[in-house]
Amino acid sequence: MFITLEDETGYVNLIVWERVWSRARRIASGSRLLEVHGMLQKEGLVTHVVAQKLVDRTRMLGTSRSPNQRDFRIASRI
């Protein structure tokens, strides 16, 4: 699974191999705040993170929303 993460500084490609994806499918597809443990790889201007562990940190967001808060969504592709 390839997941593209974006913030105000740019994009990073998250690579999730099958063994990690099979353990963390629900976390990856349902989290609003995702913690990723893995190896950082840079090739020129392109940055990749090869995921080793995914953790759902959605609870840390609380229930309130700031009027200026942007809703970043994960764009995934197979």
Q: What pTM was computed for the model?
A: 0.67
* pLDDT value of position 74: 55
Structural tokens at position 2: 């390839």
Q: Which amino acid is at 58?
A: T
Pairwise CA distance, residues 21 & 42, whole Å: 22
Largest CA distance in the chain: 39
| Most confident segment among 4-8, 61-65, 66-70 | 4-8
Q: What DSSP designation does 59 have? A: G
Q: Are 72 and 7 in contact (CB under 8 A)?
A: yes
Using one digit for the tens of pLDDT, what is the confidence trace for 28-64?
888 888 889 999 999 888 889 999 999 999 888 876 5
